[in-house]
Structure 1
Amino acid sequence: MNAEVPALRLEGIVKTFPGVRALDGVSFSVMPGEVHALMGENGAGKSTLMKVLGGIHQPDEGKIIVSEQPVVMRSPLEAKAKGIVFIHQELSLAEELTVAENIYLGELPKKRFGLVDWATLEDRTNTILARLKVGFDATARVGDLSIANQQMVEIARALTVDAKAVIFDEPTASLTDAEKVVLFEVISSLQEQGVGIIYISHRMEEIFKITDRISVLRDGSYRGTLNTAETTEEEVTQLMIGRSLDLSRNASHHELGDVALEVRNLSCGKLFKDISFEVRAGEVVGFYGLVGAGRTEIAETLFGLRDPSAGTIHLGGEEVRIHSPADAIARGISLVPEDRKGQGLILGMNCRDNMTLPQVGDLTAGPFVAEGAEVSIFDQYRDRLDIRTPGWKQLVGNLSGGNQQKIVIGKWLSMHPSVLIVDEPTRGIDVGSKSEIHNLIRELAAQGYAVIVISSEMPEVLHVSDRIIAMYSGRITRTFTSEEVTEDKLIQAISGIGGTDKAA
């Protein structure tokens, strides 16, 4: 293939929905063997552009050109047949089917009389899985796999066709560090085969590690393309949001209050052991560690989703027993979970009902829910958190990731907690909305909340925390103040170098 001819080119793509011009004459191209990042805030038009390319939406104007041939994509299957493979952020797998059946769904090899050729199906699948270096085979039931391994099944689909271009939409959101390495190796292999890669991610470190060029959308319009090796994170950010961000570390500029939460020698089976720490009113304590370090499990134990096997929890100096989320809420602990779509929201419900769901039993007028009280709560936190939505009737599933996260935070703030736990506060959120969430966390601390932030992103935990607790293999290894912590010290601590620090 001529490297000068784009593997894929879009020209002047326009897409309008009722009241919204989602794409306004967008042009974009990816060369054979190139990894081309597509970036922009949530709502910038990235997903709409990719759905046009993937045959889910039809453009109102513009052209799609594959290997210099104009094409029309009427469905995802037609797009795939033309060499365009879309690996979605949201998994689209049939959990009751095997890995092989999912990978070749709609294209199962057949024998005579239309019978499925199971031996060929499994051989083909296992050949692909070997390239991905996964720990399961063709016969595994997809529903029995972890989310990370299900993501690898999605990626395996891309290897079944003669792909011209593969679109990766936030592919590392559910992957461990080891699985990310394998993914990047797969992407490199596709490059060597001359496949063009469109890479959508909010993670700047990934963008600068594996991409060749970066194109930016803002408000449905194309804003420019940069060579990755010749640009900076600040330049990309400014192109995305039209302004610069303050990415410096934050530290408290207010007096801390009394100890709101104290944990002593808390253990939960093999998940974590001898965890001791405290959080004061007005303080942000960050938890940082590798996947499997036990951070989320600690949060779930504090919120009553898991029963501890040893240790004690103290709130306001008083030992408490927490056996359920209802116990935690009643005692002033709220948890914003890491999976906001699966655990924090009901996407088919409106904003008001999501916001007031935990307290709907208290908002009654006789046998009915008091709608006026619900709307009043929604309006209060919409204004307080700057949630951008036309009104309370908007379905939460139609909001951007940043505004969805604010709905979850508002839901728990409306319960008036003293301790707020936020697990992966900005996962899947664009850089502009990340900044807003970070500022919100700092503002909540300044208002007297005791805040725990669990994050897999080092810049984030460094930016928002007054103290950082590093974890490795279910134990606390070090506790750092914002003044003494460095990236090198933090990396050593989460790698288990230097033992543990029980007096956290």
Structure 2
Amino acid sequence: MSEPVAVAAASSPQVPLIRVAGVTKRFGGVQALRGVNLEVLPGEVHALLGENGAGKSTLIKILSGVHAYDEGSIEIAGQRVAFDSPAKSRDAGIAVVYQDLSLVESLSVGANLMLGREPRTRLGFVKKRELMTMVSDFLKAHGIPLDARTPVGSLPFAYRQMTEICKALMGDVRILILDEPTSALTGGEEQILFEAIRTVTDRGVGVIYVTHRLNEVFRISQRVTVFRDGMNVGLFPTAETDMKQLVAAIIGPGHAALHARERTPVGSASDFPAAGCELASVTVAPILTLSKAGNDRLHDVDLTVRKGEIHGLAGLIGSGRTEILQTIFGLRPVETGAIVIDDRPLSRITPAKAIKLGVALVPEDRHLQGLVLDHSIERNLTLPRLPHFSRWGWLRSQAAVQQARSAMKKLAVKAPDSSTYVKFLSGGNQQKVVFAKWDRPRPKLLLLDEPTVGVDVGAREEIYGVVQDAARDGTGVLIVSSDLDELLRLCDRVSIVVDGCVVNTIDRANLGNAEELHHLIQLSRSSNESPKGTSFGAHAT
């Protein structure tokens, strides 16, 4: 585990880089902030925690000049400020990296990082070679595995997220605000980000670090501020607090997350085959079998998921984890090998056929792939199963409304009613809607790609409960997650994916903690010598 960055103690006489005092904000009849306070010292990483809707995003938008505050004060280096535009905020040295990326996908990494500040000739032409050299030197100096020439649109989501972070780090920053910066990064990529943060804090930059991954707080921050319902509920020196205290402050007493449900793993270690064993010897029936499956990204994948099992896929970004889910769901062809779903061998599979077979997919990017943001909750829930809600070509609207209400109640989706547009929901509630699409009838195989990205502690526990309940009812679950603690919390087995191959499968009983699993991933990567594998490395394409 990395050592925290050394900074001045909270009692230091230093003038805070930023001081927020008694700031309030109202949107119509909604009081978003109720006199919040926040103080960040030079060189400090200050974690800002809270559930979705706690007020974190509102404060960030005030600091970035998107919103004006109603009451209170904000000071930067002792000078009172009030930004009426994002440009004024940037001029004051505030850089914000939001969850929703602001990249131009048709441009290269280098062009995105220097957008608006390109080196130019006297006639105004961009000095492309100089630009690429500047960006390449920066990426190399920080050990960031990106190629300045690569089009952003060709990168996996996590590398696009890393590009967004680099764009902020390259600027003249005094205060850096990171909103869920590691939501799709694995352990290795997290470490690269943390080293980059250490580089800027060594220069005296103050960092406001917003995350739902609480283990990161103890690795990178010195102090923690917690918001709940638009108010401060705690300020903690990181070295003097623990996970339980933070969770209690974030969600409040009596929340279900403090009483997480336990689940009995499917079978025992003897129920699952070691490498090379025949499937016939297994006592728990498989719902999915991949045998030597391959395509442009996968190579000889052998994988089995059993009824009632939660099976994890671990690996680095670009290792092929997501592509395995896409292949099973029919988004990528099976060019070699075989795929069997519920005892049915399939030479070709499409998403429509997969859905008919009882396969459901919760994709990594819920905004682009999982939801229609400008449609209501009800419409989103009926889209994947229109025949189920139709008769003679007409939508049975009342049946759709009843199903939506039932699913919203079951998954505790917080919204006025089922006609609410999805774009107005918090991230956690949006993710619950993605899950709710597949609630009835219960899928036989549930494919989850980063299911809790950007989801707060309370909603995360509710989603874990949905996944565990599905497994108890016999659904096979295959989950990709960059959060290794999440895999260890949920899974019966974990398979390590390297360069499009499943190179190792370990029973949960044989795994200790996240650091041990991360070590196994790195070891598997270094020992895998498959010449056919490709990955998104320094020259991602």
TM over 0.5: yes
Please, which moves more after superposition, 192-201 or 174-183?
174-183
The equivalent of 2:534 in structure 1 is none
User: 1:418, CA displacement in angstroms?
Assistant: 1.5
Are 1:418 and 2:440 matched, yes or no? no
The equivalent of 1:234 in structure 2 is 244
Going from structure 1 to structure 2, the CA distance change for 1:462 and 1:247 (only over 3 Å counts) comes to farther
Q: Secondary structure at the match of 2:338?
A: strand
Are 1:251 and 2:260 matched, yes or no? no
Q: Secondary structure at the match of 2:101?
A: coil
- Whether the 8 Å contact between 1:322 and 1:328 is mirrored in structure 2 is no
For residues 74 and 489 of structure 1, what CA distance do their matches in structure 2 show?
Answer: 48
User: 1:51, CA displacement in angstroms?
Assistant: 0.4
Q: Secondary structure at the match of 1:307?
A: coil
- Whether the 8 Å contact between 1:259 and 1:316 is mirrored in structure 2 is no
The equivalent of 1:289 in structure 2 is 315
CA RMSD, aligned part only? 3.1
The letter of the residue matching 1:86 is: V
- Whether the 8 Å contact between 1:477 and 1:496 is mirrored in structure 2 is no
The equivalent of 1:266 in structure 2 is 292
- Whether the 8 Å contact between 2:36 and 2:231 is mirrored in structure 1 is yes
- Whether the 8 Å contact between 2:291 and 2:339 is mirrored in structure 1 is no
User: 1:494, CA displacement in angstroms?
Assistant: 2.8
Are 1:447 and 2:473 matched, yes or no? yes
Aligned equivalent of 1:399, options 425, 436, 447: 425
Going from structure 1 to structure 2, the CA distance change for 1:473 and 1:493 (only over 3 Å counts) comes to farther
User: 1:140, CA displacement in angstroms?
Assistant: 5.3
**Superposition map of 1:281-320 within 5 A:** 281-320=307-346
Are 1:485 and 2:517 matched, yes or no? no
Going from structure 1 to structure 2, the CA distance change for 1:249 and 1:9 (only over 3 Å counts) comes to same
- Whether the 8 Å contact between 1:261 and 1:313 is mirrored in structure 2 is no
User: 1:151, CA displacement in angstroms?
Assistant: 3.1
Kindly, what percent of the aligned residue pairs are identical? 38
Q: TM-score, normalised by structure 2?
A: 0.83
The letter of the residue matching 1:204 is: L
For residues 140 and 458 of structure 1, what CA distance do their matches in structure 2 show?
Answer: 29
- Whether the 8 Å contact between 2:267 and 2:284 is mirrored in structure 1 is no
For residues 163 and 85 of structure 2, what CA distance do their matches in structure 1 show?
Answer: 21
Are 1:170 and 2:212 matched, yes or no? no
For residues 358 and 239 of structure 1, what CA distance do their matches in structure 2 show?
Answer: 38
For residues 83 and 70 of structure 1, what CA distance do their matches in structure 2 show?
Answer: 14
Please, which moves more after superposition, 186-195 or 444-453?
444-453
The equivalent of 1:7 in structure 2 is 17
User: 1:368, CA displacement in angstroms?
Assistant: 4.7
Deviations 1:387-444 (A, max 9, x none): 2211112121222222212111111223542211222221221122111111111111
User: 1:5, CA displacement in angstroms?
Assistant: 0.4
**Superposition map of 1:130-141 within 5 A:** 130-134=140-144, 141=151
Q: Secondary structure at the match of 1:312?
A: strand
User: 1:472, CA displacement in angstroms?
Assistant: 3.8
- Whether the 8 Å contact between 2:329 and 2:361 is mirrored in structure 1 is yes
Going from structure 1 to structure 2, the CA distance change for 1:249 and 1:131 (only over 3 Å counts) comes to farther
Going from structure 1 to structure 2, the CA distance change for 1:158 and 1:421 (only over 3 Å counts) comes to closer
For residues 148 and 332 of structure 2, what CA distance do their matches in structure 1 show?
Answer: 34
Please, which moves more after superposition, 158-167 or 352-361?
158-167
Going from structure 1 to structure 2, the CA distance change for 1:62 and 1:419 (only over 3 Å counts) comes to same
The equivalent of 2:228 in structure 1 is 218
Q: TM-score, normalised by structure 1?
A: 0.89
The letter of the residue matching 1:414 is: R
List runs of 5+ in structure 2 lacking aligned partners.
1-7, 272-282, 529-541
Alignment length, in residue pairs? 500
**Superposition map of 1:91-490 within 5 A:** 91-99=101-109, 101-108=111-118, 112=122, 125=135, 128-134=138-144, 141-243=151-253, 245-246=258-259, 250-252=263-265, 259-269=285-295, 271-364=297-390, 368-487=394-513, 490=517
User: 1:142, CA displacement in angstroms?
Assistant: 3.8
The letter of the residue matching 2:456 is: D
List runs of 5+ in structure 1 lacking aligned partners.
none
Please, which moves more after superposition, 177-186 or 116-125?
116-125
Going from structure 1 to structure 2, the CA distance change for 1:248 and 1:373 (only over 3 Å counts) comes to closer
The letter of the residue matching 1:360 is: L
